[in-house]
Structure 1
Amino acid sequence: MKMSRQNAEHYIWGDQCDGWHLLKAQNLSIIHERMPAHTAEARHYHEESQQFFFLLEGTATIEIAGEEHELHQHEGIHVAPHIPHQMFNKSDSDIQFLVISEPTTRGDRFPA
């Protein structure tokens, strides 16, 4: 089945951020996320899951192990298990990105 934001399971997280489950399997998760201007997720890490963040629209800042990285449209970055990280939208516009997690992060998210 083709997947898009229009037919994917939707949820709201953080400060009015959106997520759409494009693929929700135990061994692989792909989520399309939207963060409004000047929002951030809570800093955390995963024991098992590795993740790849790929920016679709806007400019994002991601802090990984204390180092900030700015991502622009069509750029991505990998986060290994056990590494604390946090996504920010420091811009004045929405950002949209994909979060690809292997395996899923369900039950594998811990405050950092």
Structure 2
Amino acid sequence: MKVSKSSAEHYVWGEACDGWHLVKDARLSVIHERMPAGTSEVRHYHEQARQFFFVLSGSLTVEVGGEAVELAPQEGVEVPPLTAHQVRNLSDEAAEFLVVSSPTTRGDRHNA
């Protein structure tokens, strides 16, 4: 079945960030997210889930295990299970990116 941002389940997280569930399954999650300029998520880790962040537009700083990784469009970074991480948009423009998780992160998130 075809899916897009306009047809996917939408949610708001943080103060002003958006997410769209493109694939929502216990074994695989694919989310299209949008972070306005100057926003960030809480530093956390997942016990089971392995994640991959891939920037579509804008730029992100992803802290992975204490190391800052700068991502431009068409760049990504993998985050293994049990690795503390935090996504930040330090730029002056919104960033859009994909978050791929296997298995889903539902019930698997712990603040670091």
Query: What band does the TM-score fall into relative to the shorter chain?
Result: over 0.9
Letter paired with 1:47: E
**RMSD between aligned alpha carbons?**
0.4
Residue 93 of structure 2 is matched in structure 1 by: 93
Residue 23 of structure 1 is matched in structure 2 by: 23
Separation of aligned partners in 1, 2:64 and 2:14: 19
Give identity over the alignment, percent. Answer: 58
Structure 1 residue runs without a partner (length 5+): none
Structure-1-length-normalised TM-score:
0.99
Separation of aligned partners in 2, 1:23 and 1:64: 24
Residue 82 of structure 1 is matched in structure 2 by: 82
Structure 2 residue runs without a partner (length 5+): none
Q: What is the CA-CA distance between 1:25 and the residue it aligns to?
A: 0.3
The runs of 4+ residues in structure 1 deviating greater than 3 Å are none
Separation of aligned partners in 2, 1:11 and 1:100: 16
Paired residue total: 112
Separation of aligned partners in 2, 1:18 and 1:30: 14
Separation of aligned partners in 2, 1:2 and 1:37: 30
Letter paired with 1:74: Q
Q: What is the CA-CA distance between 1:15 and the residue it aligns to?
A: 1.8
Letter paired with 2:83: I
Write out per-residue CA displacement over residues 32-81 of structure 1, whole angstroms, 9 at most, x where no aligned residue. 00000000000000000000000000111000111101000000100000
Write out per-residue CA displacement over residues 1-32 of structure 1, whole angstroms, 9 at most, x where no aligned residue. 11110000000001210000000000000000
Residue 45 of structure 2 is matched in structure 1 by: 45
